[in-house]
């Protein structure tokens, strides 16, 4: 389909064209759910392949939309179809595909390989897609609840497992609290500006005729709600317990694709809607960032459970990502906004890429009746399987920010966005980020040391299906390749952010 045909459809059916990938995902999710009712195979081969095919189609649709680079508003301007949403939608679809590929063998031996695993994952992705396309407060909340409710149910899939049930309860209660914070903040903003549309909120704030105290009060609750969803300090308390208690496959579904939605609603709400209040929310994000990097990296050192360690690592990583959002507006000047926000987007994309491989390796080493979750479980992995140990080391080096992995370039891009502002406060912020990253490198490298220099606790061979071995190898290679050649991915992020800001 060429550009002229696309232009024709935009004129004839702008609403249907704008939500094309979302409609496609909804239809395919329903097809998978119905098809699974007639499948008796306990291995769910047909359901799995149908799900992966559906996700591949949705990913291709999002990439095709991104390549055409258009921005349109539809559904009475409640929905926006722009390059940022479509690029993040593509990454979220791919992340869900990879997660399900890693999860299938893991779920098969834990009585979790059911149709619900696939259909709820697709509906969670649909909620993510709604948030990526939102141009209205209510649409954001609708997508958030669709994603969250699916993840709550997935966390509780192992009903006979006490840890999973406890994790689901904590996730549900604290998630509901976070949603309440966000909804209350959005209602305050609606009361102050008189509109639910993000563009109109931006204009109302820019008019300077609204009570500053009311705006700031609403903004505090919005930032608190976003902090809960990102898992930043002091709203981080759910992250370690849910990451550790949930089955590893579900942990990855929680910590993978949803990160793109959290980043997107930060851009939609704070940048596209409330840029006039940047002085206020940037200061809040600085506090969240410093607190997250400090607590996340220091608390991770004391952990012996790998999933809990990675949970605190996530808190620190989200704090680092927020640094890019802190430096978009300097002294009322937005000249550095594109550079800052695109560096944060690049960071979140590469972090999810690395997390996929990290949790994929944990699932690979797990077997029936045994969860490979303790650091001691990785002892001597290099002697049992040098390849898996090398791939896991690449992921650890990337999370630590060591060259030549993509994590190094991601951290460098965020630090560059801070330093290029030439503001002394941001320079000190960059120095603090480097110090906390050095502290964080300890617990990542400790795992590498355990894999290569400690004696193995067991000598049983590691069994993995061909598709998992292949995808894990590609995952590790991608972390290295994007570290050596980051230009293409960074250019895509810059294009997406610049076009989002332009409209």
Evaluate whether 151 touches 253 at the Cβ level (below 8 Å). Answer: yes
CB-count burial class (<10 Å; 0-12, 13-18, 19+) for 116: middle
* pLDDT tens by residue, 354-368: 999 999 999 988 865
* pLDDT of residue 3 exceeding 60: no
Write down the residue that tokens 């407060």 correspond to. Answer: 137
Q: At what angle do helices 137-155 and 258-266 cross, to 10 degrees?
A: 160
**CA 183 to CA 340: how far, in whole Å?**
27
Mean pLDDT computed over every residue of the chain: 89
**CA 11 to CA 13: how far, in whole Å?**
6
The secondary structure of 452-469, three-state, reads HHCCCCCCCCCCCCHHHH
Nearest to 216 by CA among 287, 284, 291, 134: 284
* pLDDT value, residue 209: 80
Size of the chain in residues: 503
The encoded tokens of residue 401 equal: 């920010």
**CA 190 to CA 197: how far, in whole Å?**
9
Kindly write down the DSSP assignment for every residue of 172-202, as one continuous string.
HHHHHHHHHHHHHHHHHHHHHHS--BHHHHH
* pLDDT of residue 396 exceeding 50: yes
**CA 416 to CA 412: how far, in whole Å?**
6
**Average pLDDT estimate for 322-336:** 81
CB-count burial class (<10 Å; 0-12, 13-18, 19+) for 71: middle
Q: What is the dihedral of CA 50, 123, 43, 310, to 10 degrees?
A: 120
Element (H, E) at 220: helix 212-230
pLDDT bucket at 158, cuts 50 / 70 / 90: confident
CB-CB neighbours of 370 under 10 Å: 12
* pLDDT tens by residue, 219-228: 999 999 999 9
Kindly write down the DSSP assignment for every residue of 229-254, as one continuous string.
HHT-TTS-THHHHHHHHS-HHHHHHH
* pLDDT tens by residue, 186-221: 999 998 888 899 989 999 888 878 877 888 889 999
Work out the angle at residue 59's Cα, subtended by the Cα atoms of residues 228 and 398, and round it to the nearest 5 degrees. Answer: 55
CB-CB neighbours of 331 under 10 Å: 7
Residue 81 phi, psi dihedral angles, 5° rounding: -110, 105
* pLDDT value, residue 328: 80
Work out the angle at residue 213's Cα, subtended by the Cα atoms of residues 208 and 214, and round it to the nearest 5 degrees. Answer: 85
* pLDDT tens by residue, 34-65: 998 888 887 888 999 999 999 999 999 999 99
* pLDDT value, residue 1: 46
User: What does DSSP say about strands 79-81 and 72-74: parallel, antiparallel, or unpaired?
Assistant: antiparallel
Q: Would residue 77 be called left, alpha or beta, if left means φ above 0 and alpha means ψ between -120 and 50 degrees?
A: left
Write down the residue that tokens 């976003």 correspond to. Answer: 226
**CA 74 to CA 80: how far, in whole Å?**
6
* pLDDT of residue 369 exceeding 70: no
**Average pLDDT estimate for 449-456:** 89
Could you tell me what percent of the chain has a pLDDT over 90? 57
Kindly write down the DSSP assignment for every residue of 327-376, as one continuous string.
TS-BTTB-TTHHHHHHHHHHHHHHHHHHHHHHHHHHHHH-BTTB---BGG
**CA 204 to CA 201: how far, in whole Å?**
5
């Amino acid at each position: 389909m060429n550009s002229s045909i696309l232009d024709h459809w935009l004129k004839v059916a702008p609403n249907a064209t704008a939500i094309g990938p979302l409609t496609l995902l909804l239809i395919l999710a329903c097809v998978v759910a119905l098809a699974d009712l007639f499948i008796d195979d306990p291995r769910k081969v047909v359901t799995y392949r149908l799900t992966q095919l559906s996700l591949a189609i949705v990913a291709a649709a999002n990439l095709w939309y991104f390549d055409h680079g258009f921005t349109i508003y539809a559904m009475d301007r409640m929905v926006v179809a722009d390059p940022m949403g479509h690029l993040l939608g593509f990454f979220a679809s791919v992340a869900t595909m990879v997660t399900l590929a890693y999860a299938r063998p893991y779920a098969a031996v834990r009585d979790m390989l059911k149709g619900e695993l696939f259909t709820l994952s697709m509906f969670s992705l649909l909620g993510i897609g709604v948030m990526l396309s939102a141009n209205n407060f209510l649409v954001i909340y609708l997508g958030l609840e669709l994603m969250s409710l699916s993840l709550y149910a997935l966390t509780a899939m192992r009903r006979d497992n006490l840890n999973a049930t406890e994790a689901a309860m904590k996730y549900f209660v604290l998630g509901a609290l976070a949603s309440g914070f966000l909804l209350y903040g959005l209602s305050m903003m609606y009361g102050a500006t008189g509109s639910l549309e993000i563009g109109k909120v931006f204009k109302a704030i820019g008019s300077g005729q609204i009570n500053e105290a009311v705006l700031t009060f609403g903004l505090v609750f919005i930032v608190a709600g976003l902090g809960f969803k990102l898992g930043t300090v002091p709203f981080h308390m759910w992250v370690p317990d849910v990451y550790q208690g949930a089955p590893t496959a579900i942990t990855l579904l929680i910590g993978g694709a949803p990160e793109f939605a959290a980043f997107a609603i930060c851009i939609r709400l704070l940048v596209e809607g409330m840029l006039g209040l940047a002085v206020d929310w940037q200061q809040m994000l600085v506090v969240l960032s410093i607190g997250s990097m400090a607590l996340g990296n220091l608390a991770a050192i004391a952990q012996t459970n790998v999933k809990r360690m990675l949970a605190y690592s996530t808190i620190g990583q989200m704090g680092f990502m927020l640094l890019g959002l802190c430096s978009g507006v300097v002294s009322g000047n937005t000249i550095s906004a594109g550079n800052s926000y695109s560096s944060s987007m690049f960071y979140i994309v590469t972090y999810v890429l690395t997390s996929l491989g990290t949790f994929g390796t944990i699932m690979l080493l797990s077997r029936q009746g045994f969860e490979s979750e303790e650091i001691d479980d990785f002892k001597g992995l290099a002697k049992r399987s040098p390849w898996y140990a090398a791939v896991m080391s690449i992921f650890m080096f990337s999370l630590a920010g060591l060259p030549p992995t993509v994590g190094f370039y991601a951290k460098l891009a965020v630090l560059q966005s801070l330093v290029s502002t030439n503001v002394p406060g941001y320079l000190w912020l960059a120095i603090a980020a480097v110090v906390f990253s050095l502290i964080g490198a300890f617990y990542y490298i400790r795992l590498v040391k355990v894999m290569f220099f400690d004696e193995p606790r067991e000598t049983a061979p590691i069994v993995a299906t061909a598709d998992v071995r292949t995808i894990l190898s590609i995952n590790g290679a991608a972390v290295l390749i994007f570290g050596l050649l980051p230009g293409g991915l960074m250019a895509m992020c810059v294009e997406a952010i610049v076009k989002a800001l332009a409209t």
